[in-house]
Amino acid sequence: MCGIVGYVGNRPALNVILDGLRRLEYRGYDSAGVAVLDGRGGLAVERKAGQLRNLEARLDELDVPFEGTAGMGHTRWATHGGPTDRNAHPHRDGTGKVAVVHNGIIENFAPLRAELEAAGVELTSDTDTEAAAHLVARAYADGPTAGDLAASVRAVCRRLHGAFTLLFTHAEHPDMIVAARRSSPLVVGLGEGETFLASDVAAFIEHTRDAVELGQDQVVTIRRDGYDVTDLDGNPAEAKPFRVTWDLAAAEKGGHDYFMLKEIEEQPTAVANTLRGHLTDRRIVLDEQRLADGDLRDVDKVFVVACGTAYHSGLLAKYAIEHWTRLPVEVELASEFRYRDPVLDRQTLVVAISQSGETMDTLEAVRHAKEQKARVLAICNTNGAQIPRESDAVLYTHAGPEIGVAATKTFTSQIAANYLVGLALAQARGTKYPDEVAREFAELEAMPDAMAAALDGVEAARELARDLAPSRAVLFLGRHVGFPVALEGALKLKELAYMHAEAFAAGELKHGPIALIEDGLPVVVVMPSPKGRAVLHAKLLSNIQEITARGARTVVIAEEGDETIRPFAHHLLEVPAVPTLLQPLVSTVPLQVLAAEIARARGYDVDKPRNLAKSVTVE
């Protein structure tokens, strides 16, 4: 939810930190701040509300040189306390010697603040974070942890409830940063004579690909020449080293105005990467499979839990898994799942879908499922994130870094991954022969080419976007697998263009929503194939006529060669003909482009929609 960077090395820290923050801004952009240790006992801090560029402008105006080769930075998505200068991180203690940056929520902040206030400490922000700076300063000043920054941090973290990544600096320790994590991401980057800390490797990928993933409730101290890790009690602890497989180019815009536009174009490659290596000898192989074959065979019910776009991909999983395995599948918003006491046991498979692998709602759903003894399989795009760590098995989408806040290539990759799970279940349960599994897989493998063809045809969506930009609202209709696509199209339009956008299952139209149709209202209709789904096609054709008769302006996504639709579409966006279950992989593409281009035409920042952040690490 917030982005965090720490650096101890030989280069001017400020530049390294600002570059890192720029790559983490997708995590939040309500405010930004830096703290640099000057090596002479000074700790310079500057913070500013708004995007990172506001902080950079402020730093340019200052004559105070932010000299020093160690420091940290933060880019914020506000939870406790509005997005103002005074609530921006880093926060300091009263002496100004200790600084902290934080990602997550300290749930017991209220009693901690009350305790500090009772002790005469003046709090200068409305955040849950500031208390941590004062508490560490006090633990460092006096008592059993006096003079030991790491021990002080451990002692304070033992008292904290909630989720946190916390980085602390102390002016008296210009060559080190102490950090702690619980249910919130933190990785260490190991360079030559320099060490990094970050919420995401993207922050330091330009300098090193050697990284270490911190475990739950671990505390790390970084110095120029390395790091050490302990648990919260100070016992040495193991952290997992890994090498980042993608490079800086993957985290750059590659000539596009926005990351999102680049990521839309990357979809054929992303889906190909998701599928790569998963079929061996006509058998589906998942990644880290800590489930025995027998576990999958014994599954008698599947729950899919996810949020936002990932939830829409989950809705599609239901069509494939039920069709291929005859297992009942329930798809549930992760934020609702554990609060309604779902019926789970050892034979339940819970599929948790999350691009980031750190969405708190989904993580809590996973924890709930595990408590009830269900098996959990994660579908995730981020290696080693918390959700796959806590799951029994994981299938990584390998879509590469997605920086635009709006999910695009990870959505289509999740669809492909869901289908792999469906095929793995079908093979384990024997509802598909190996030949059939291989045939379905081959159809999936043909999809990157079909998606590339869909991308070749998006000019019509771009042109239409300029036309639709002044609209107040847009409705979306779909049926069968076209319904989740309609939901996803509406979500993209809401989050990027701030337009009222709502999707309906087309069959529901006559049960109420048709009352919304008025003269000129744009309605996007996702058509099924006239051959693959002739009955539904005919029904949607009738729906189109019903809304046209009431003044709607129809934008129809239809299969190439579907001539029957032409007379009824005010605007036609064609996509390649593909098998029914795979249609969402192509029909989503023009909807993503439409939303991005409408947002652009309305003058909005496509990569950083207001009020949002890429990873939602709070419930």
Catalytic residue IDs: 2, 614
C-beta of 103 vs 354, nearer to ligand M6R: 354
Pairing of strands 348-354, 375-380: parallel
Q: Is 111 exposed, middle or buried (0-12, 13-18, 19+ CB in 10 A)?
A: exposed
Q: How far is the CB of 51 from ligand M6R (least distance, A)?
A: 18
CA distance 376 to 379: 10
For residues 343 and 600, is the Cβ–Cβ distance under 8 A?
Answer: no
State the angle between helix axes of 308-325 and 409-429 in degrees (0 to 180), rounded to the nearest 10.
Answer: 30
Peptide bond into 609 cis (omega under 30): no
Which is nearer to ligand M6R, 307 or 552 (by Cβ)?
A: 307
Q: Which residues contribute to the site for ligand M6R (CB under 6 A)?
A: 307-310, 354-356, 359, 362, 405-407, 491, 495, 615-616
Mind spelling out the 3-state secondary structure of 301-330?
EEEEEECHHHHHHHHHHHHHHHHHHCCCEE
Residue 460 Cβ, how far from ligand M6R at the closest point, in Å? 23
* 618: CB partners within 8 A, 6+ apart: 1, 79, 104, 105, 163, 360
Q: Tokens representing 545? A: 């006529």
132, 166 contact by CB (below 8 A): yes
Name which of 66 and 419 has its Cβ closer to ligand M6R.
419
DSSP annotation of 123 reads P
Shortest distance, position 245 Cβ to ligand M6R, whole Å: 19
Residues contacting 7, CB < 8 A, separation 6+: 13, 16, 17, 20, 69, 70, 71, 72, 177, 194, 195, 196, 197
Is there a contact between 74 and 94 (Cβ–Cβ < 8 Å)? no
Nearer to ligand M6R, 208 or 615 (CB): 615
- Two structure tokens written together for 362: 């989904």
Least distance (Å) between residue 474 CB and ligand M6R: 16
Shorter beta-carbon distance to ligand M6R: residue 455 or 491: 491
Nearer to ligand M6R, 437 or 496 (CB): 496
CB 587 within 8 A of CB 526: yes
In the bound complex, which residue of the shown chain has the CB atom lying closest to ligand M6R?
308
Shortest CB 356 distance to ligand M6R, Å? 3
CB of 576 to ligand M6R, least distance (A): 24
